[in-house]
Structure 1
Amino acid sequence: MLDKAVFKSSGKSPLKRVRRWLLSLMLVLLMGIGALVFYILSLQLLWPLSFWEPRSWLDPPLYNLSASDKSFFVEYPQPYHFILDEPNRCLHQSPFLVLMIPVEPHNREARDIIRNTWGKETTVLDQVVARYFLLGLSAGRNGSEPIEEGVLEESQKHHDILQSDFLDSYNNLTIKTMVMFEWLSTHCPNTSYAMKVDSDIFLHVHNLVDMLLKAPRQLYMTGYVARGATVLRDPTSKWFVPASVFPDPTYPTYALGLGYIFSLDLTWKIVEASPHVKALHIEDVYVGLCMRHIGIKVTDPPRGDLFQISAPSFTGSCQRTSVIAAVLKDSKQLLDLWRTFESRPQSGC
């Protein structure tokens, strides 16, 4: 009896000591796993989604680049502001489709040609279509000078001008495009689709609306789709990008900037992705990079002839029924082509 009492009071059995050791080990492991999960979640807060992207396209965007490489990127995101706006028009109209047309501030002629051709369409197949011209600042302006009198009068007359306070230039097309996405995401809550369309494009709005009435309403982007496009390494090319800026030999799939259509739910997703993807100056490629970042694929159009990179001839009525968008030499050609387009019969195909 005495031996048993001494044993009980002097310590625990070996089995109990092993159990206690295993419990301690499990507790340490659980604490380690918890710390690892916390670390990963902290990274996700800093770099959501793009934690798994190639490191060359993560924040901070430009600090590790040479001065020459920085020229291939633009200053976005930045808090750009609209100095000419239509803050309530899209909300009140609730259009099915919004056409966003980037154009230089001085190019009043292009805007008037569009207003008198495909831009005059306001109701198509019983769907409301709205049109806006997107402008930056003229070269030499820093935002402190008054708005050009002609642009202000044009805005007051047509109510279709959106002008933001970035320098309007070819290299800033990415800024213009992202400002467009920002504006749409906050001003058009009841709109189904928008299209970014260049001013030198022939646009068949009827065919566009007809296609969209059968298209997905969410996570949708289409146009002239480029797959496996080669990154041009020739320094004399307008689209030259060195390997130090974009190391991959090809770009991700994207829709050419001549004109692409997207559902409105994509606008804010692309804006949210932008801080995590360096703002390359080639705007359509940059949108494609943002789409890759959020894991959404560009959709092919129903037919390959709907988006064309050459001007349609309209020699027969069938081409009239096939094209949605086609590239022209300039907006002046649009006026001549539109007269031919309207004179052709619509039946026969």
Structure 2
Amino acid sequence: MARRRLKLVTVIMMVNFFIFIIISRHSSQDKNGRHKVHIPPKPFWSELVPSPAYCNRQQQILDFHNNPVLAANYSAADVPDWLNETGVTSSPCRPNDKVTTQVKDYNSLPVRFKDFLSFMHCRSYPIMVDQPEVCKDPPFLLLAVKSLAPHFERRQAIRQSWGRAGVVANKTVVTVFLLGNTMAGDHHPDLSGMLQYEGLHHKDIIQWDYRDSFFNLTVKEVLFLEWIQNRCPGARFVFKGDDDVFVNTFRILDFLGGLSEPKARDLFVGDAITNAGPHRDKKVKYFIPESMYVGPYPPYAGGGGYLYSGDIAARLHNVSRHVALYPIDDVYTGMCLRKLGLAPEKHKGFRTFNIEEKYRSNPCAYKSLMLVHPRTPQEMIQIWAWLSSPGLKCQ
């Protein structure tokens, strides 16, 4: 018994000794500095410096005012003047005259840039044509097609083919066409009477009173996101695309039907583009000067068409208020997704840059695809007839 007690006491002493050594090592500092406390080389909250690019700077301003933690580090007197440079005037949809001095090369920019910059702060426009009952019965799939007033032939081809509303493959499908207004300066013929008849007859036209231009497609995006929440919040899924694409509605419905609930809730798929940035070549349609934007683009899906859930639509609507407008709508949607901590998923069924020419007249080439761009109205009707034929057999 004495030996056992002595052995137990010895073990306890040794354990206490090792614990003492370990604690001593961690509480003391090594002469070589290996255990010294590391002090960050610079403050966590660095001084805010305005970006030289106007769109980046507008995003900095929004980030500052929408971040209570960041804003709390500044008293009202300490907030730099540039952080209050919002561009909002007494009448929200009036041109912002201040932008002429806030963009260094404003006077040398093409008219489309001046127009965008002058109205960049404007997000709300009157609705001219609405369809308040179009989603009275919440659809499984809402097809939202960006169109222009003169593009009647394209809209009619879509109605007769992939955008045929009603019940498709036992799922409810609703189609709407999204339009702005034509301006005299853009030299469009006056088609307002025809458009009014078209809207009354088909009940699928949504039109707002703003200038319908390439750079204003982002305006169409934010107005549509608000429209969904007001008129079609129960839509399970949303496809949004151009009026010169062919969409295999059968394939999309089949794809959506096979999704798990978590996957369906966070769905955003399309022809995802990564590692891209603004074009600096003035001859390119997507040219953006450095005075407007610097830095890479977030991952985004090509604007020809993409597919997302109704839940994502609601989240995009909320977060879009915190993202400064950008003149390229698909990039802007990517910016909103980035703000949500999301990114579009690439799906090989979205061919926004067409398919090989040798396959374009083969009906089976379209059976497994969701979208092909571009296609004429005649080609849309032809391809739809192929896919709708019960005799179509593909390997």
Fold match (TM-score > 0.5): yes
| Counterpart Cα distance in 1 of 2:272 and 2:228 | 22
2:125 is matched with which residue?
A: 80
| Counterpart Cα distance in 2 of 1:234 and 1:57 | 31
Aligned counterpart in structure 1 of residue 334 of structure 2, from 288, 300, 315: 288
Aligned counterpart in structure 2 of residue 168 of structure 1, from 201, 205, 212: 212
AA matched with 1:137: N
| Counterpart Cα distance in 2 of 1:106 and 1:315 | 28
For 1:31-42, what aligned pairs fall within 5 Å after superposition?
Answer: none
2:103 is matched with which residue?
A: 65
Give the alignment's TM-score, normalised by structure 2.
0.67
| Counterpart Cα distance in 2 of 1:77 and 1:233 | 26
Contact 2:244 2:377 in 1 (8 A): yes
Q: Tell me the SS of whatever aligns to 1:155.
A: helix
Q: Tell me the SS of whatever aligns to 2:284.
A: coil
2:304 is matched with which residue?
A: 258
Contact 1:136 1:163 in 2 (8 A): yes
For 1:90-129, what aligned pairs fall within 5 Å after superposition?
Answer: 90=135, 92-129=136-173
1:241 is matched with which residue?
A: 288
Aligned residues: 298
| Counterpart Cα distance in 1 of 2:368 and 2:243 | 20
1:328 is matched with which residue?
A: 374
Contact 2:386 2:392 in 1 (8 A): no
Shift in CA distance, 147/163, structure 1 to aligned 2, threshold 3 Å = farther
1:30 is matched with which residue?
A: none
Aligned counterpart in structure 2 of residue 148 of structure 1, from 187, 192, 205: 192
Contact 2:304 2:352 in 1 (8 A): no
| Counterpart Cα distance in 2 of 1:150 and 1:206 | 31
AA matched with 2:330: D
Give the alignment's TM-score, normalised by structure 1.
0.75
Contact 1:57 1:278 in 2 (8 A): no
For 1:41-56, what aligned pairs fall within 5 Å after superposition?
Answer: 46-48=65-67
For 1:8-19, what aligned pairs fall within 5 Å after superposition?
Answer: none
Q: Tell me the SS of whatever aligns to 2:131.
A: coil
AA matched with 1:264: G
Contact 1:49 1:294 in 2 (8 A): no
Deviations 1:231-261 (A, max 9, x none): 211122111112232211x311001100011
AA matched with 1:287: T
Deviations 1:111-132 (A, max 9, x none): 1111111112522231101000
Contact 2:157 2:378 in 1 (8 A): yes
How far the C-alpha of 1:191 sits from its partner, in A, is 1.3
**Structure 2 unaligned spans of 5+:** 1-44, 46-61, 72-81, 88-97
2:75 is matched with which residue?
A: none
Contact 1:59 1:275 in 2 (8 A): no
| Counterpart Cα distance in 1 of 2:315 and 2:138 | 21
Does 2:134 align with 1:89?
yes
Shift in CA distance, 171/192, structure 1 to aligned 2, threshold 3 Å = same
1:18 is matched with which residue?
A: none
Deviations 1:278-307 (A, max 9, x none): 211110001101111121221233xx2443
Higher normalized contact order (CA 8 Å, seq sep 6+, divided by chain length): 1
Q: Tell me the SS of whatever aligns to 2:344.
A: coil
AA matched with 1:256: G
2:29 is matched with which residue?
A: none
Shift in CA distance, 154/246, structure 1 to aligned 2, threshold 3 Å = same
How far the C-alpha of 1:170 sits from its partner, in A, is 1.5
How far the C-alpha of 1:71 sits from its partner, in A, is 5.3
